[in-house]
Amino acid sequence: MSTEITKIGIISCSGEAIAEGTISRLATRRVLELLRPDVTVTLCLPLFLSGNDGERNFARTHPTITIDGCSKQCARWGTEKHSGPVSGALVVSDILGTESSGCHRSSRDASPVDKEAVWAVAERIAAEVDAVLAEVAPRDTGVAEISTAQCACSSPLPGSKLSIKGKTLSIPGLPLIFEQCAERGIPAHADEGAILLDSVKIYHCVAPEDEAEYRTALVAAFQEFKSGLKPAK
Amino acid sequence: MTNELRANPALVIPCSGIGKVHGLISRESAYLVTDELAPKHTDTLCLALLVKGDSEAVAAVRSHTCITIDGCAKACAQKNVEIAGGRVAKAIQVAESLKNYRGAKPGNATALTDEGWAITRDIAGDVACASARLRADAELIR
């Protein structure tokens, strides 16, 4: 495994009661899938808010941007309460103003107005991602010199790389995930690949067809991690 | 069960998980129920607002019967309604429901396929039936 700077976390409120919640969810997906796929990750907000330390480590280990539908800012509130200050906080109703009045909650009713709104918010999120990246980039180049005492709530922590189907993929926060697994007493055994994969899938999307390869790679990396011969950084 | 159920619609609360198609199915199922199948007898609220501890949201789940639709076994919607003091009359998990549609390709976390919409409509139908049954039980008691 080699070290690499973690990605930007985006947490959407996805509020069900209002159209802006749907826009926050879809715009976040658009950034993850299309606009900034290589530098962003996400997590379900309810899981984050009600989860254990593993879930809540998310915003401690990623510079995080929250996307809220309304001024109640549930995503920002929850993230800051459990994981410290966020790097950016956007509110859909502030971005769109009255333009969101014609939007719908369900995607089956989506009109050109909804699609335009999702694009506008997605582009705003992408710009925020770029701004946060620009802020952390100087620190990226000097990772080796960064003191471990530095505040984790706004500075990125190293991730790790795995080889999947001949490609090298970045797994942000993998050392922390392994630490948590080790604390839970999970043995570094081939039979535990599913548990390791489940832990990784809390934070990262894994295509079903890649799961078998992920299990094998994670077991090998976890064995390496536990052996202490080459501890994950 | 109290008579207030007649006056107060059931709350249908999805998890809206953002990482997989399961969350989208939960969300769209809820909208099908509240907007189309049983608009006069059901409503929804923001799960994040409830988890935040908003007093109005907490009061709402305590004064209405709740039906939760979760994407996965983590059951964030069900657990958080219960933690807030609400009563979950029916809890659905999309991942479990999908076992009845082996081989189906419902779409992804962003968009549903026609097959995904069909599954969503089936789940919404189950929720609407549960809501109707709750109303019928309330009438009987009354």
Q: What is the pTM of this model?
A: 0.72
What mean pLDDT is predicted for residues B71-82?
A: 94
d(CA B6, CA A217): 55
* Domain final residue, candidates A140, A174, A204: A140
What mean pLDDT is predicted for residues A23-29?
A: 96
What chain B residue is nearest to A104 in terms of C-alpha separation? B31
Residue A227, CB half-sphere, CA atoms under 13 Å: how many?
9
pLDDT for A175: 73
pLDDT at A72 over 90: yes
pLDDT for A132: 93
- The amino acid occupying position A153 is C
Same domain, A53 and A133: yes
Give per-residue pLDDT as tens, A179-210: 777 777 888 887 878 888 887 776 566 788 88
pLDDT at A49 over 60: yes
What chain A residue is nearest to B108 in terms of C-alpha separation? A29
What mean pLDDT is predicted for residues A68-85?
A: 92
d(CA B111, CA A211): 22
Give me the number of domains chain A comprises.
2
What mean pLDDT is predicted for residues B127-142?
A: 85
pLDDT at A18 over 80: yes
Look at residue A162 and tell me if it is in a domain: yes
Do residues A213 and A164 make contact, with C-beta atoms less than 8 angstroms apart? Answer: yes
Look at residue A86 and tell me if it is in a domain: yes
Select from B13, B46, B79 the residue whose CB has the most chain A CBs within 10 Å, as the one to mutate to test that interface. B46
pLDDT for B1: 36
* Domain final residue, candidates A108, A140, A172: A140
Look at residue A107 and tell me if it is in a domain: yes
Do residues B3 and B142 make contact, with C-beta atoms less than 8 angstroms apart? Answer: yes
Largest Cα span, chain B = 45
Bridge-partner residues for A41, per DSSP? Answer: A9
The answer to whether the Cβ–Cβ distance between A29 and B79 falls below 8 Å is: no
Do residues A41 and A9 make contact, with C-beta atoms less than 8 angstroms apart? Answer: yes
Same domain, A80 and A43: yes
Has the ipTM of the complex gone over 0.85?
yes
Q: Kindly list the strands in the beta sheet with A64-68, ordered across the sheet, starting from the edge strand earlier in the chain.
A: A40-42, A8-12, A64-68, A88-91
Which range of A37-46, A161-170, B9-18 scores highest in mean pLDDT? It is: B9-18
Same domain, A8 and A121: yes
pLDDT for A105: 95
| Three-class DSSP category at B105 | coil
* Domain final residue, candidates A86, A113, A140: A140
**Strands A64-68 and A8-12: what pairing?**
parallel
Same domain, A54 and A132: yes
What mean pLDDT is predicted for residues A83-109?
A: 92
Look at residue A150 and tell me if it is in a domain: no
Same domain, A27 and A61: yes
pLDDT at A142 over 80: no
The number of residues making up chain A comes to 233
What's the mean per-residue pLDDT of chain B? 91
CB atoms within 10 A of CB B32: 22
The closest CB to that of B47, out of A12, A16, A105, belongs to A16
Query: What are the residue ranges of helices labelled H in chain B?
Result: 4-7, 21-31, 47-52, 55-63, 76-83, 94-97, 114-141
Largest Cα span, chain A = 59
pLDDT at B137 over 70: yes
User: In sequence order, what are the residues at sequence separation of 6 or more whose Cβ sits closer than 8 angstroms to the Cβ of residue A139?
Assistant: A146, A155, A156
Among A65-69, A99-103, B117-121, the range scoring the smallest mean pLDDT is A99-103
Is residue A77 very low, low, confident or very high in pLDDT (cuts 50, 70, 90)?
Answer: very high
Among A87-91, A134-138, B105-109, B130-134, the range scoring the smallest mean pLDDT is A134-138
Same domain, A122 and A162: no
What's the mean per-residue pLDDT of chain A? 80
Look at residue A145 and tell me if it is in a domain: no
d(CA A46, CA A75): 9
The answer to whether the Cβ–Cβ distance between A44 and B112 falls below 8 Å is: no
A37 touches chain B (CB under 8 A): no
Look at residue A233 and tell me if it is in a domain: no
Same domain, A20 and A135: yes
- The amino acid occupying position A210 is D
Element at A76 (helix H, strand E) = helix A74-83
Select from B12, B13, B16 the residue whose CB has the most chain A CBs within 10 Å, as the one to mutate to test that interface. B16
Same domain, A129 and A58: yes
Same domain, A36 and A133: yes
Same domain, A101 and A48: yes
Same domain, A126 and A174: no
- The amino acid occupying position A139 is R
Do residues A176 and A20 make contact, with C-beta atoms less than 8 angstroms apart? Answer: no
Give per-residue pLDDT as tens, A114-126: 999 999 999 999 9
Look at residue A151 and tell me if it is in a domain: no
pLDDT for B142: 64
d(CA A110, CA A106): 7
Bridge-partner residues for A90, per DSSP? Answer: A67
pLDDT at B61 over 80: yes
Range of the domain at A94: 4-140
Look at residue A153 and tell me if it is in a domain: no
